[in-house]
Protein backbone atom coordinates (compact mmCIF):
# COMPACT_ATOMS: atom_id res chain seq x y z
CA UNK A 1 0.00 0.00 0.00
CA UNK A 2 2.90 2.34 0.76
CA UNK A 3 4.43 1.96 -2.70
CA UNK A 4 1.13 2.64 -4.44
CA UNK A 5 0.59 5.67 -2.25
CA UNK A 6 4.03 7.04 -3.19
CA UNK A 7 3.28 6.55 -6.88
CA UNK A 8 -0.05 8.37 -6.57
CA UNK A 9 1.61 11.12 -4.53
CA UNK A 10 4.33 11.57 -7.15
CA UNK A 11 1.79 11.72 -9.94
CA UNK A 12 -0.40 14.21 -8.08
CA UNK A 13 2.65 16.31 -7.16
CA UNK A 14 3.68 16.70 -10.81
CA UNK A 15 0.07 17.36 -11.81
CA UNK A 16 -0.40 20.01 -9.12
CA UNK A 17 2.79 21.79 -10.21
CA UNK A 18 1.54 21.82 -13.81
CA UNK A 19 -1.92 23.06 -12.83
CA UNK A 20 -0.55 25.72 -10.49
CA UNK A 21 1.53 27.16 -13.34
CA UNK A 22 -1.27 27.02 -15.91
CA UNK A 23 -3.97 28.28 -13.56
CA UNK A 24 -1.99 31.49 -13.03
CA UNK A 25 -2.13 32.06 -16.76
CA UNK A 26 -5.85 31.23 -16.97
CA UNK A 27 -6.72 33.16 -13.77
CA UNK A 28 -8.44 30.33 -11.89
CA UNK A 29 -7.85 31.58 -8.36
CA UNK A 30 -9.51 28.75 -6.40
CA UNK A 31 -7.64 26.05 -8.29
CA UNK A 32 -4.42 28.04 -8.00
CA UNK A 33 -4.64 28.32 -4.22
CA UNK A 34 -5.43 24.63 -3.77
CA UNK A 35 -2.65 23.48 -6.06
CA UNK A 36 -0.05 25.75 -4.46
CA UNK A 37 -1.10 24.52 -1.02
CA UNK A 38 -0.94 20.93 -2.27
CA UNK A 39 2.53 21.38 -3.75
CA UNK A 40 3.73 22.87 -0.46
CA UNK A 41 2.07 20.04 1.46
CA UNK A 42 3.79 17.40 -0.65
CA UNK A 43 7.20 19.07 -0.35
CA UNK A 44 6.95 19.66 3.41
CA UNK A 45 5.17 16.31 4.03
CA UNK A 46 2.33 17.97 5.90
CA UNK A 47 -0.43 15.92 7.46
CA UNK A 48 -3.17 18.01 5.82
CA UNK A 49 -2.21 17.11 2.24
CA UNK A 50 -4.97 14.51 2.14
CA UNK A 51 -7.50 17.25 2.91
CA UNK A 52 -6.35 19.48 0.04
CA UNK A 53 -6.36 16.50 -2.31
CA UNK A 54 -9.91 15.67 -1.24
CA UNK A 55 -11.12 19.25 -1.70
CA UNK A 56 -9.50 19.51 -5.13
CA UNK A 57 -10.72 16.11 -6.27
CA UNK A 58 -14.31 16.65 -5.17
CA UNK A 59 -14.52 20.11 -6.74
CA UNK A 60 -13.12 18.96 -10.09
CA UNK A 61 -15.14 15.73 -10.02
CA UNK A 62 -18.41 17.57 -9.37
CA UNK A 63 -17.74 19.94 -12.28
CA UNK A 64 -16.81 17.09 -14.60
CA UNK A 65 -19.91 15.08 -13.72
CA UNK A 66 -22.10 17.99 -14.76
CA UNK A 67 -20.14 18.55 -17.98
CA UNK A 68 -20.05 14.88 -18.96
CA UNK A 69 -23.73 14.37 -18.14
CA UNK A 70 -24.67 17.28 -20.37
CA UNK A 71 -22.46 15.92 -23.16
CA UNK A 72 -24.02 12.47 -22.91
CA UNK A 73 -27.58 13.78 -22.79
CA UNK A 74 -27.14 16.09 -25.76
CA UNK A 75 -25.67 13.27 -27.88
CA UNK A 76 -23.72 15.83 -29.89
CA UNK A 77 -20.32 15.35 -28.32
CA UNK A 78 -17.77 13.28 -30.18
CA UNK A 79 -15.58 10.58 -28.72
CA UNK A 80 -12.64 12.93 -29.10
CA UNK A 81 -14.34 15.38 -26.75
CA UNK A 82 -14.75 12.67 -24.12
CA UNK A 83 -11.06 11.83 -24.43
CA UNK A 84 -10.19 15.44 -23.63
CA UNK A 85 -11.98 15.22 -20.28
CA UNK A 86 -10.81 11.70 -19.39
CA UNK A 87 -7.40 12.64 -17.89
CA UNK A 88 -9.03 15.23 -15.64
CA UNK A 89 -11.58 12.65 -14.52
CA UNK A 90 -8.81 10.17 -13.66
CA UNK A 91 -6.84 12.79 -11.71
CA UNK A 92 -9.97 13.88 -9.83
CA UNK A 93 -10.74 10.28 -8.82
CA UNK A 94 -7.10 9.73 -7.75
CA UNK A 95 -7.17 12.94 -5.69
CA UNK A 96 -10.41 11.90 -3.98
CA UNK A 97 -9.01 8.45 -3.21
CA UNK A 98 -5.78 10.02 -1.92
CA UNK A 99 -7.87 12.19 0.37
CA UNK A 100 -9.99 9.32 1.67
CA UNK A 101 -7.41 6.55 2.05
CA UNK A 102 -4.79 7.27 4.72
CA UNK A 103 -1.17 6.87 3.63
CA UNK A 104 1.23 5.73 6.29
CA UNK A 105 4.37 6.30 4.24
CA UNK A 106 6.41 9.25 5.48
CA UNK A 107 4.38 10.07 8.55
CA UNK A 108 3.51 13.53 9.66
CA UNK A 109 5.43 16.01 11.75
CA UNK A 110 2.81 15.79 14.48
CA UNK A 111 3.13 12.02 14.83
CA UNK A 112 6.92 12.28 14.89
CA UNK A 113 6.70 14.88 17.65
CA UNK A 114 4.44 12.67 19.74
CA UNK A 115 6.59 9.57 19.37
CA UNK A 116 9.77 11.49 20.21
CA UNK A 117 8.34 12.84 23.46
CA UNK A 118 9.87 11.29 26.58
CA UNK A 119 7.71 8.83 28.46
CA UNK A 120 7.24 8.65 32.19
CA UNK A 121 8.63 5.60 33.89
CA UNK A 122 6.24 3.48 35.88
CA UNK A 123 7.37 2.54 39.33
What are the extents of the domains in the chain? 2-101
Cα 88 from Cα 52, distance rounded (Å): 16
Instruction: Please tell me whether residue 101 adopts helix, strand or coil conformation.
Output: coil
Which pLDDT score, from 0 to 100, does residue 29 have? 82
Dihedral angle sign, alpha carbons of residues 66, 84, 26, 15: positive
Name the stretches of the chain with pLDDT < 70. Answer: 104-119, 123
Which pLDDT score, from 0 to 100, does residue 118 have? 63
Cα 96 from Cα 58, distance rounded (Å): 6
* Other C-beta atoms lying within 10 Å of the C-beta of residue 48: 12
Task: List phi, psi (to 5°) of 52.
Answer: -70, -35
In 3-state terms, the chain is what percent helix, strand and coil (to 5)? 80, 0, 20
Amino acid sequence: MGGLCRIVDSFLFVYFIFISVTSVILMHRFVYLLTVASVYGFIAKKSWISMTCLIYGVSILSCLIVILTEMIKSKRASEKMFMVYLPFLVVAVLAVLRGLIPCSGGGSAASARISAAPRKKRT
